[in-house]
């Protein structure tokens, strides 16, 4: 990361996890409008203080990013580095480039893990970086070196490449998990291993908020195409079974 002081705006499940990851190495402060979330975070501070950090992470829902960034804007330093951690990238890049001062450096990211996968201890975990022409190479290299020391696997993609890939690797699995949940399926002693894996997909999908599910489906420009292809594939199978 860049600088000594890290600010985290949004102290949901991932924001708190990010604080735990960065806490041993930086002075971390965090802000959230939810008083319960803020009170449970050791480095909670007013927005003005958090947004004035050397590096600022926006860990808010995709649909709330523009509002959160607009609110923080008066306090952000022109020489700050601003990160987002949204599960889509084209839309956040557009928001950051439009709202932030041209002098502000940005580095769009997507950590490909959450509190559940982190707790299971599976390592290394992928950390996607989507640098733009407003990401100085030296900043990106510092971030890559730090994340490498922390044991992450770095994946570089453009924002468009990211959203195309995530429409299937993330949006599809989330959609399947939610659909399985709608079926009301339960475990039984006769379950096959593959069925248990399907139930695990359901558990992971439903452990995320409905807002996150909705945001990633509606904000990813390629998710609607994925859903149409999935429905067409199911219809084709139904016709073949005829």
Q: Are residues 27 and 113 in the same domain?
A: yes
What band does 8 get if pLDDT is binned at 50, 70 and 90? very high
Cα distance between residue 157 and residue 109, in whole Å: 10
Residue 165 in any domain: the answer is: no
- Spell out the residues 6+ positions from residue 9 whose beta carbon is closer than 8 angstroms to its own: 15, 30, 31, 32, 47, 50, 51, 56, 57, 58, 59, 60, 68, 72
Q: Are residues 125 and 224 in the same domain?
A: no
Alpha carbon distances (Å) from 108 to 75, 85, 127:
20, 7, 11
Please give the DSSP secondary-structure letter assigned to residue 62. G
Q: Are residues 131 and 70 in the same domain?
A: yes
Q: Are residues 117 and 145 in the same domain?
A: yes
Q: Are residues 120 and 211 in the same domain?
A: no
Measured distance between the N- and C-terminal CA atoms of the chain, rounded to whole angstroms: 57
Residue 164 in any domain: the answer is: no
Residue 13 in any domain: the answer is: yes
Q: Are residues 36 and 70 in the same domain?
A: yes
Q: What is the pLDDT of residues 91-139, one digit of tens each?
A: 999 999 999 999 999 999 999 998 888 888 778 999 999 999 999 999 9
Mean pLDDT along residues 142-154: 95
Q: What is the pLDDT of residues 175-231, one digit of tens each?
A: 999 999 999 999 999 999 999 999 999 999 998 889 999 999 999 999 999 999 999
Q: Are residues 65 and 111 in the same domain?
A: yes
Residue 180 in any domain: the answer is: yes
Which has the higher per-residue pLDDT, 121 or 159?
159
Q: Are residues 133 and 204 in the same domain?
A: no
Cα distance between residue 135 and residue 6, in whole Å: 17
The DSSP bridge partners found for residue 128 are: 110, 155
Radius of gyration (Cα) for the chain, nearest Å? 19
Alpha carbon distances (Å) from 186 to 46, 116, 157, 190, 201:
45, 21, 38, 11, 13
Mean pLDDT along residues 140-147: 96
Query: What is residue 117's predicted lDDT score, i.e. its pLDDT?
Result: 82
Read off the pTM.
0.91
Name the domain boundary from 93, 126, 157: 157
Positive or negative CA dihedral for 49, 55, 59, 65? positive
Q: Are residues 82 and 147 in the same domain?
A: yes
Residue 163 in any domain: the answer is: no
Residue 35 in any domain: the answer is: yes
Residue 70 in any domain: the answer is: yes
Name the domain boundary from 134, 157, 180: 157
Q: Are residues 61 and 144 in the same domain?
A: yes
Q: What is the pLDDT of residues 20-77, one digit of tens each?
A: 999 999 999 999 999 999 999 999 999 999 999 999 999 999 999 999 999 999 999 9
Residue 218 in any domain: the answer is: yes
Full residue range of the structural domain in which residue 230 is found? 170-241
With beta carbons less than 8 A apart as the criterion, state whether 47 and 72 touch. yes
Query: What is residue 120's predicted lDDT score, i.e. its pLDDT?
Result: 81
Q: Are residues 114 and 178 in the same domain?
A: no
Q: What is the pLDDT of residues 216-236, one digit of tens each?
A: 999 999 999 999 999 999 999
Q: Are residues 110 and 199 in the same domain?
A: no
Per the structure, how many domains does the chain have? 2
């Amino acid at each position: 990361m860049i600088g000594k002081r890290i600010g985290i705006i949004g102290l949901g499940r991932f924001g708190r996890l990010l604080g735990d990851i960065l806490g041993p190495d930086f002075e971390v402060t965090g802000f959230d409008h939810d008083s319960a979330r803020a009170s449970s975070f050791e480095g909670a501070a007013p927005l003005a203080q958090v947004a004035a950090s050397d590096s600022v992470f926006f860990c808010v829902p995709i649909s709330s990013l523009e509002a959160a960034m607009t609110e923080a804007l008066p306090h952000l330093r022109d020489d700050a580095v601003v990160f987002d951690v949204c599960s889509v990238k084209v839309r956040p890049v557009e928001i950051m480039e439009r709202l932030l001062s041209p002098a502000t450096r940005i580095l769009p990211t997507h950590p490909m893990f959450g509190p559940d996968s982190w707790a299971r201890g599976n390592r290394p975990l992928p950390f996607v970086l989507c640098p733009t022409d407003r990401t100085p190479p030296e900043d990106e290299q510092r971030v890559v070196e730090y994340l490498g020391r922390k044991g992450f696997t770095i994946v570089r993609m453009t924002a468009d490449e990211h959203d195309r890939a995530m429409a299937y690797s993330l949006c599809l699995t989330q959609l399947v998990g939610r659909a399985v949940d709608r079926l009301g399926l339960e475990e039984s002693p006769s379950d096959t291993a593959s069925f248990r894996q399907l139930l695990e997909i359901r558990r992971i999908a439903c452990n995320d908020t409905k807002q996150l599910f909705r945001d990633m489906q509606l904000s990813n420009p390629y998710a609607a195409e994925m859903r149409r292809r999935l429905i067409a594939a199911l219809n084709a199978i139904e016709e073949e079974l005829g």
